[in-house]
């Protein structure tokens, strides 16, 4: 016999409640299609680029629709099993007929969603289609992405990480550029000395000591720069792995609900962090180029000086007895 819970459910069959759920579902479907089409047009007119907020809104709209659809599916399954048990014991009572009416409306909505959005009732996933996927694949501008993700701890960690990166970049830039300028100045002085045709031993030793010290500094800064690049690349890969996981989930037809705390918002925030990291890494690579140029200047100037003073065709005389610098 049907238990009391089944009978109560059938008796409480609420056509109005089901209608409200179905109206909400239809409204969310229309919102999703409208937004999808608007963003498709917007991206096509903007080099296939939309804002990160647009991307988040599209995913969240899909997530809200999916959640409502799963709610309708759950209600349909609940009514179906209860009706079957009640009918087997009581036949088609008025309450059962009302419940059957609700069940039919819910079933029709699910079948419609299966056709329109590739809904799979067994696992709750949706497959919105090619147009939706195309918009999901658009490039995004992420300047305001962090304002789309509402998590104080995430934002605090992001700010600390970005602050550390920028501070490290400023420090390395200042010191490496100082070395570059100092090396250029020394190279200029060497050229002037060679043109003069003579040099004191003290000045010669000073130049060589300066070259050796600077080359050691270049090696040290190159290690610091490369260590920072490796560290930031590892952070970027970690963020990208989280994005890939969300992309995989969405590709399987699963979208999270919410607005400022959804997977889509988290994905956009991560992408914005990656963009910032890329900028810092590119500037660090520029500093490596500066170090390469500085090292090349040192080697060239050092070799030119040695050849001019000690080579077979020396053009600069070295006075070991002069006490003043040339």
- E strand residue ranges, the chain: 49-51, 139-141, 198-200, 317-319
Q: Where are the domains of the chain?
A: 4-141, 155-319
The predicted pLDDT at position 221 comes to 97
From the list 42, 23, 43, the residue with the least C-alpha distance to 31 is: 23
pTM for this predicted structure: 0.76
Q: Which CATH number fits domain 155-319: 2.60.40, 1.10.287, 3.40.50, 1.10.10?
A: 1.10.287
Given its phi and psi angles, is residue 170 left (phi above 0), alpha (psi -120 to 50 degrees) or beta?
A: alpha
251, 54 in Cβ contact below 8 A?
no
The predicted pLDDT at position 70 comes to 94
List C-alpha distances in Å: 223 to 219, 220, 279, 295: 6, 5, 19, 14
From the list 256, 253, 270, 54, the residue with the least C-alpha distance to 149 is: 270
The set of residues, in sequence order, having a beta carbon less than 8 Å from that of 191 and lying 6+ positions away, is 301, 304
Q: Which residue has the higher pLDDT, 120 or 15?
A: 120
Radius of gyration of the chain (CA): 35
CA distance 249 to 136: 13
List C-alpha distances in Å: 165 to 118, 157, 223: 45, 12, 16
The predicted pLDDT at position 264 comes to 83
Lowest mean pLDDT among 73-87, 183-197, 198-212, 270-284: 73-87
The set of residues, in sequence order, having a beta carbon less than 8 Å from that of 85 and lying 6+ positions away, is 2, 3, 6
Neighbours of 4 (CB within 10 A): 8
Report whether pLDDT(324) > 70: no
* Tokens 């988290």 found at: 266
Q: Which residue has the higher pLDDT, 240 or 259?
A: 240
State the pLDDT confidence band at 3, using cuts at 50, 70 and 90. low
- E strand residue ranges, 78-175: 139-141
The predicted pLDDT at position 148 comes to 56
pLDDT in tens, 89-146: 666 666 677 778 888 999 999 999 999 999 999 999 999 888 998 998 898 886 554 4
pLDDT in tens, 247-304: 898 888 888 876 656 788 888 888 888 999 999 999 999 999 999 999 999 999 999 9
CA distance 4 to 2: 7
Report whether pLDDT(321) > 80: no
How buried is residue 88: exposed, middle or buried, by Cβ count under 10 Å (0-12/13-18/19+)? exposed
For residue 228, the surrounding DSSP H or E stretch is helix 201-251
Q: What is the mean pLDDT of residues 9-16?
A: 63
Q: What is the mean pLDDT of residues 22-42?
A: 94
């Amino acid at each position: 016999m049907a238990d009391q819970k089944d009978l109560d459910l059938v008796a409480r069959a609420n056509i109005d409640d089901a209608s409200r759920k179905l109206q909400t579902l239809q409204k969310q479907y229309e919102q999703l299609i409208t937004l999808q089409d608007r963003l498709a047009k917007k991206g096509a007119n903007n080099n296939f680029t939309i804002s990160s907020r647009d991307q988040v809104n599209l995913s969240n709209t899909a997530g809200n629709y999916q959640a409502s659809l799963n709610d309708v599916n759950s209600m349909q399954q609940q009514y179906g099993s209860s009706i079957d048990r009640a009918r087997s014991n009581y036949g088609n009572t008025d309450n059962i007929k009302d419940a059957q009416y609700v069940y039919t409306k819910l079933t029709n909505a699910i079948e419609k969603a299966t056709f329109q959005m590739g809904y799979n009732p067994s696992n709750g996933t949706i497959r919105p289609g090619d147009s939706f996927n195309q918009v999901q694949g658009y490039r995004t501008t992420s300047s305001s992405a962090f304002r789309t993700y509402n998590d104080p701890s995430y934002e605090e960690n992001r700010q600390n990480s970005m602050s550390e990166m920028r501070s490290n970049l400023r420090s390395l830039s200042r010191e490496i550029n100082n070395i570059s300028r100092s090396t250029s100045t020394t190279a200029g002085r060497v050229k002037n000395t060679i043109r003069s045709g003579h040099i004191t031993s003290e000045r010669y030793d000073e130049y060589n000591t300066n070259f050796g010290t600077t080359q050691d500094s270049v090696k040290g800064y190159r290690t610091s720069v490369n260590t920072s690049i490796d560290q930031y690349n590892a952070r970027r890969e970690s963020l990208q792995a989280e994005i890939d996981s969300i992309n995989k989930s969405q590709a399987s037809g699963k979208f999270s609900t919410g607005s400022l705390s959804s997977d889509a918002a988290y994905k956009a925030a991560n992408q914005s962090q990656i963009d910032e990291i890329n900028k810092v890494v590119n500037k660090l690579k520029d500093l490596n180029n500066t170090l390469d140029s500085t090292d090349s200047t040192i080697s060239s100037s050092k070799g030119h000086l040695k050849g001019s003073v000690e080579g077979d065709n020396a053009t600069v005389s070295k006075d070991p007895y002069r006490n003043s610098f040339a």
